[in-house]
Amino acid sequence: MAGQLLSAVSDYASIPESYVRPESQRPRLNEVIRGANVPTIDLGSGDEPQIIAQVADACRSFGFFQVVNHGVPLESMQKMMAVASEFFRLPHEEKAKHYSDDPAKKMRLSTSFNIRKETVRNWRDYLRLHCYPLEEFVPGWPSNPASFRDVVSTYCREVRRLGFRILRAISLSLELEEGYMAKVLGEQEQHMAVNYYPKCPEPELTYGLQAHTDPNALTILLQDPNVAGLQVLKDGKWIAVNPQPDALVINIGDQLQALSNGRYRSVWHRAVVNSDRERISVASFLCPCNSVVINPPEKLVGDGDRPVYRTYTYEEYYKKFWSRNLDDDHCLELFES
């Protein structure tokens, strides 16, 4: 029912009970570290050995980094943000046509995370799109706003190119052949979550998106340049990832953690909300082909050791991920060998 959407109501004086986290699970916003930031890597520096060393370091220690001079034109990023914001400003009846809470749907507008499984709601609506191959999916995307399909297709193509550049740097940083990761991940799907976090009157009691790790291979996040909200867990503390207008945020997903045999980390992250401003983010996910068997290369498994995770297919993993509540442990732990 589309009435579930947060954006069905224009203003909230307080948050409904179903969004209130128990005391022990609240975000404790005053304990968040705001001065530190995840590393920023300049992909246009021309110093490849340095870029690869920085990628190695960031993937090992944070599982997150920002990139600048990444090849996605600023104009494309701005248009993507603008069309996302225009979409969420459409009248409720217009958006309601796209509503679904079925995670199997390849285009849907939904709310929270997985309302079929969860006990407490998240202060988020989101539009989820499959984006590869574009020819197959674009005809099913929203046609309102009128520029939506064009703007989002262009952004998707550019982001995919960046994703493969990063997979190459990741392969090299693990001393694998440059095409290794792209090859083992197969013909990758690309999904997008356009996240809309409305203003929230009681941001201390709830989340935009509760702590989770991403189940896919690699995530590229376009953040609202003016509103912070993303936080990552490092050494038991939450660190705010402050937006930089020209940067994109990259994070390692569970599959790269498994393929690197645990060297690189798919880190817990969350989005918090605030009472002053709504926030939009656009997450692009590179997802292994469903039939791909996830198994680290021998080179990354010590002599006589077993891989950290058992062999599985991505299809098996993805089903497991969506069958759970995000509050549970790291999904990858269920696949330890």
Binding site for Ni ion (CB under 5 A): 214
Q: Which x/- pattern over 241-280 shows residues binding ligand OGA (rule: CB under 6 A)?
A: ----------------------------x-x---------
Residue 234 binds which one of Ni ion, ligand OGA, none, with CB within 5 to 8 A depending on kind?
none
Give the amino acid at 126: Y
Tell me which residues in 189-218 interact with ligand OGA (CB under 6 A). 193, 195, 209, 214
Site for ligand OGA in 282-311 (CB under 6 A): 283
CB of 321 to ligand OGA, least distance (A): 12
Is the CA virtual torsion 287, 288, 290, 296 positive or negative? negative
DSSP 8-class letter at 148? H
| Cβ atoms 257, 218 nearer than 8 A | no
> Which partner from the list Ni ion, ligand OGA, none does 229 bind, CB cut-off 5 to 8 Å by kind?
ligand OGA
28: left (phi over 0), alpha (psi -120 to 50) or beta: left
Helical segments of 62-147, H only: 74-89, 92-96, 134-137
Judged by beta carbon, residue 189 or residue 214, the one nearer Ni ion is 214
- Kindly provide the b/e burial profile for residues 210-246, where b requires at least 16 CB atoms within 10 angstroms of the residue's own CB: bbbbbbbbbbbbbbbeebbbbbbbbeeebbbbebeee
CB 333, min distance to ligand OGA, A: 19
Total chain residues near ligand OGA (CB under 6 A): 11
CA atoms of 76 and 151, how far apart (whole Å): 7
Q: How far is the CB of 238 from ligand OGA (least distance, A)?
A: 13
Binding site residues, ligand OGA, CB under 6 A: 193, 195, 209, 214, 221, 229-230, 269, 271, 281, 283
